[in-house]
Amino acid sequence: MFGIQTENTDLLPWSWAEERLNAARNFWISSTRPDGRPHSRPIWAVWLDNALWYSTGSLARTNLVTNDAYEVHIDDGESVVIVEGRARPVHHEPDAVQRMCEVYSTKYDYPMTPHGDEIRSSDGQGGPVFVLDPEVAFGWIGEIERPTRWRFTSPTS
């Protein structure tokens, strides 16, 4: 199973977090500039294959060169889900990019198609594709009720 299951019934199940990651329209992604200053911005993204898939042409993509540690959270302060992990550009994964486009297009009613390692809309909008592979996630309800942490193992461990 992806995420941690525990006998503590006061904790939120991972399925609760996944539902919110799948339903969220807006995500906030945070990265670190080469000089150490933070950078944060809203993005559209999809939760697919236990990772967050997104495209951005912003400063976030250039920050990845010097520091691949990223944090993302859904745009909801009452049912909070925060995911921390490592971001990576997607290269030579045409089937995965195609699946990302299908899910993204349906979710946002904004058709996207693969163009190599990038995605594009019919009007040419788009950019490179990235994946945030989770290492740890946090969730809670309301005023930090049922705070829960999930840890992830890499598929190769």
* Domain-wise residue ranges, the chain: 14-151
Residue 157's H or E segment, with its range, is none
| Average pLDDT rounded to a whole number, residues 115-122 | 92
CA dist., res. 155 & res. 40, Å (int): 28
Return the percentage of the chain with pLDDT > 90, whole number: 82
Position 28 pLDDT exceeds 70: yes
Position 44 pLDDT exceeds 60: yes
Residue 100's H or E segment, with its range, is helix 94-108
So what's the pLDDT on residue 16? 97
Model confidence band, residue 117 (pLDDT cutoffs 50, 70, 90): confident
Paired sense of beta strands 51-55 and 45-48, if any: antiparallel
Q: Are 12 and 146 within 8 A, CB to CB?
A: yes
So what's the pLDDT on residue 1? 36
| Average pLDDT rounded to a whole number, residues 35-43 | 94
Whole-model pTM? 0.89
Give the tens place of pLDDT for each residue, 76-110: 999 999 999 999 999 999 999 999 999 999 999 99
Report, in this order, helix, strand and coil percent for the chain, each rounded to 5.
20, 45, 40
Name the CATH topology of 14-151.
Pnp Oxidase; Chain A (2.30.110)
Position 5 pLDDT exceeds 90: no
So what's the pLDDT on residue 84? 98
